[in-house]
Each structure stands twice: as C-alpha cells, then as structure tokens.
Structure 1
Amino acid sequence: MSRRRLIGVGGAAAGGLLLAGCDNLASDDKLARIVRSAEDASRGFQRFAGRDALAREFSRADMSPVFKVNGTREPVDADYQALKAGNFADWRLTVNGLVANPLSLSLAQLRAMPARTQITRHDCVEGWSAIGEWTGPQLASVLMAAGMQTRARYIVFRCADDYGGEVSKGGPQSTARYYESIDMIDAFHPQTILATMMNGAPLSIGHGAPLRLRVERQLGYKHAKYLMAIDVVDSLAGYGSGHGGYWEDRGYEWYAGI
C-alpha cells in the first residue's frame, strides 16, 4: 500500500483544508487538530520506512516541459535587487547558530563543492506536480563544515522572499519574511541539497536564484527559495510564531511529508 493511501483519509482532509485557505486553519481548533493528526501520521510513516529512504528519482526523459513558477516570482526587496544586478557576485549564504565555525559562502564556493544531481517530482499543496533536475551540494556537507554542536535540533532557512511586497503575504511593509525549517534527520538525508542549478542551468529568479532548498520527501512549500541564511538551533521559538515556517505559522503542517 502506498504511503498516500495509508494516510489518505487524514491527508485528504488536511489537503482540502489547506486549499480552502490558511485562515480557516488558524481560526478553527478542530480543523487544526485534523491537520496535526495527518502530520503525525505522515512523519511516523516516513520514519518507519527508514531515515534514508529515497524519494523516487526519474530520467531526463521524464522531465516536465514546463516547471511552474509558484509563490514569489521575484523579491522586490532593494537588497535582493542589488544582488541580482551584480549577478549575485556579492551574495553570501551565512551559516550561524549552534556551530563551531560560522560560515559565509559565496555562490562560487557552493558551486565548487561536491554536488549531487537528482531528477525528482515536486508536489505542490495546491495539487500540481512537475519533474525537474536539481544540482547542488548536500546540506549535510555544509553543516559538517560548520561543525554543529551536539544540542542542535533544527535547521532554519531564512530567505529574501517577500511575496512581491504584498503586505498580506509578508512583504517588506510587514514583519514576516519567508522562512522554513527541518529536523536533523531530513537535514542529513542524502537528497536534501542546496540547489544552485535547475535542469542543467543556473537557477532562474522565479525558481529561487541564487539558491534554494530541496528536501525531496516533503511538499513544495518546504523547498525554500532565495536562501540568505541558515541557522542551526535547538528551538523554533524565536522565529515567526514559533511553528517552524512561514506557512506553518498560518496553519500548514510543519512536517509536510509525501
């Protein structure tokens, strides 16, 4: 039996609620409990299947002719626009928090690291999917270079993503910027990479340039675009509303397994 069928009842209920809108989830305790029960089932099944169980990988012949751009198409933040104008030569990915060796990595340095290429299916909570090829260093390599402390529990990804300046979606006039987080099991999964390339070319702006997370066993909103910083932490309490991600703060599942 597929994982989708095994948790189909809870997952279908949660998916319908998500598509109906985050405000419903945030304002209704009963609906939120349904989502949390589906999340627990999802996480439990994936952990049972194995920490290193791989998401299906495809051939180049399977790749989608069009890979939809979703969410922010281009951050309007002035700092991001300046980085874009310089072809991201001055962009740096910082790695801070519970690490022995804080890092500040250029795009060239990330591209020089040993890379993994994988062709996987991106599943969006809105109901569409697409298959694409992603290339970049494994997140585990970056974390090991930073020397994580033993009490680290989560990896938080902070982004330049501002939803095009829309106040209702967390633009620069509000206090919210896109962020995401995963636990150590997913952080060290072999398919969790920091993608610098898509389909054999540098990431486009719409797909998250200069860098995006690929965490292949979870839904698309976990694959944070426009990465600026990685924080290694022992708690998610200091970020947003404390639920571990931009959409999670608005009612979505934190563990969005597929």
Structure 2
Amino acid sequence: MTLLLSRRALVLGGAVTLAGCDRLASNERVRDTLFSAENFHKWAQRSLMRRDALAHEFRPDQISPFFRANGTANPNTPEYKTLWRNGFADWRLRVSGMVARPLSLSLVQLHAMPHREQITRHDCVEGWSAIGKWRGVPLSLILNAARMSSRARYIVFRCADDMGNGNAYYESIDLIDAFHPQTILAFALGDQPLRVANGAPLRLRVERQLGYKHAKYLTGIEAVESLSGIGAGKGGYWEDRAGYDWYAGI
C-alpha cells in the first residue's frame, strides 16, 4: 500500500524522530544546515519513507478529462518550430557529463526501449492538480546505458523553452529520484504523443515532486558531481530566480 504523507505530516513525524538527534544538532553548523526549511523537508520525507516508496497511482476512470499545461505552453523558438514541423524526426536527446558512453537518442530509439505506464497526479505550485496516464522510458535505463560515473551525484535536465535573455529552462534531481522506478522520460500522455503544451516530444516525470521539477521539452540530460557551476548554482531555473525549493517532494 502506497504511503501518502503531506509536508505537514512529514514535518510532524520528523520532529518526533529528531528527538534522538540532540548530540548531532548541538553542532551549530550541522544544526543550521539540517533545520533549513528545504533540507529539513527532504530529510524528514526520506527518513520516514522508503527510498523506493511509490507515489499513489490511480484507476483509469479517475483520469482528468483535460490535462492543462504547467509553465511554458510552447517554446516558440525557431529551433523548436523547425523540429515540430518535421514531427521531431531530427530531435535528439543528448546524454552527457560524467558518463563513459555519451548518447544521442532519437524518438524512434526511445519508443523501442522498455517503457513504463503510470497514472499519477500532477500537483502544480499554481494551485491546481490533474491526473494523467503517462508512458515513457525509465530514466534509470538511460543512465545505466550511458555508464554513469560513480562520482556523479545529480542529473541536470536541459530544455528547449527559452525563458528570456537567452536563459533556457533547466532542472535537476539527485540519484535517489533519478533511479526511482516511477521517474520516467515520458513521450505519451493519455495514450497519445505529448502535445506541445504538455512538453513534446519528451518530458520528465518525477512523481514524488511538485510540477516545476517535471522539466518539459527535453533536449539533454547531464550527469554532474555538483550543481554549483550550473546557472546560479541552486539547481533549477525557478530555484535560481524565485527562491523555489530545490527539493519539492510531496
């Protein structure tokens, strides 16, 4: 049975668990790091839930009649328009960074790989939710095929949506979420290829986190040891610019 916990429940449960951590928390530096809002939330959720605990999956009759777009609804750049007009035949997902075998994957190749289907709820920071059926390739399969280095700690997702001033959207997750069985690179929603508004041709689904972590319009994934040299160093476009939590677990 899937364990569903809200942020509030996680914090309350985490507070009880922390009662036995007095000696650790007496160190000022450790205390400041542990009790920052984001780190406490991540620590609490991962302490109370198994690393492979699944997000709740729904029945087909519970699927929302329409799955609205979150974030960008169309990259609308010349490069993206060219790919879209050609049915994304020339699109490639590039896998780079700390890997022994860099990859350049077409949609045809991704469709031929083993895939997973899941019916899950998308929770958006804008205040809405929707349930959708997704199909895609488990991210773990691609990382294993690229022979990722043991020194890599994060996976960075590069996207086609230009957010202005030449800044493309990007996001990142750690390896716990990257290798989670429900973390997939989705190419279909509701048994149909992704619409442009929903992230065509490929988007991330990281089901235990809020919607802004589910990067759309993917162009590349990169295995890195640190996030410090990427963007403003906070791990994502909105994290850099609006102070969003890097860890957005639900």
TM-score range, shorter chain: 0.7 to 0.9
Q: Deviations over 1:73-108 (max 9, x none)?
A: 111211111000100000000000100000000001
Q: Does residue 186 of the first structure (1) align with residue 173 of the second (2)?
A: no
Partner residue, 2:23: none
* CA–CA distance in structure 1, aligned partners of residues 239 and 55 of structure 2: 23
2:126 pairs with 1:123: no
State the one-letter code of the partner of 2:184: I
**In structure 2, what residue type is equivalent to 1:41?**
F
Give the counterpart letter for 1:5 in structure 2: R
Q: How much has 1:161 moved relative to structure 2?
A: 1.1
Does structure 2 conserve the Cα–Cα contact (< 8 Å) formed by 1:159 and 1:225? yes
Coordinate RMSD, CA, aligned? 1.6
- Identify if the C-alpha distance between structure 1 residues 92 and 129 changes in structure 2 by more than 3 Å, giving closer, same or farther: same
Listed as ranges, the matches of 1:165-180 within 5 Å are 170-171=163-164, 174-180=165-171
Change (3 A) 1:188 1:44: same
Q: How does 1:156-235 map to 2 (within 5 A)?
A: 156-162=156-162, 170-171=163-164, 174-235=165-226
Greater relative contact order (CA < 8 Å, ≥ 6 in sequence):
1
Q: Who is 1:241 aligned against?
A: 232
- 2: CA distance between counterparts of 1:3 and 1:76? 36
Query: What is the distance in 2 between the residues matched to 1:243 and 1:108?
Result: 34
Matches within 5 A, 1:136-151: 136-151=136-151
More moved, 226-235 vs 63-72: 63-72
Instruction: Give the equivalent residue in structure 2 for 1:257.
Output: 249
User: Structure 1-normalised TM-score?
Assistant: 0.83
Residue 76 (structure 1) aligns with: 76
Residue type of the alignment partner of 1:117: E
Number of residue pairs the alignment of both structures matches: 224
- Could you tell me the TM-score, scaled by structure 2's length? 0.86
1:161 aligned counterpart, secondary structure: strand
The within-5 A match list for 1:1-80 is 2-7=5-10, 37-48=36-47, 49-80=49-80
User: Who wins on radius of gyration, i.e. which is larger?
Assistant: 2
Structure 2, unaligned runs of 5 or more: 13-31
For 1:221 and 1:240, the matched residues in 2 are separated by: 16
Post-superposition Cα deviations, 1:141-169, rounded to whole Å, max 9, x if no partner, equal 0000000011000000000012xxxxxxx
Distance (whole Å) between structure 1 residues aligned to residue 188 and residue 51 of structure 2: 26
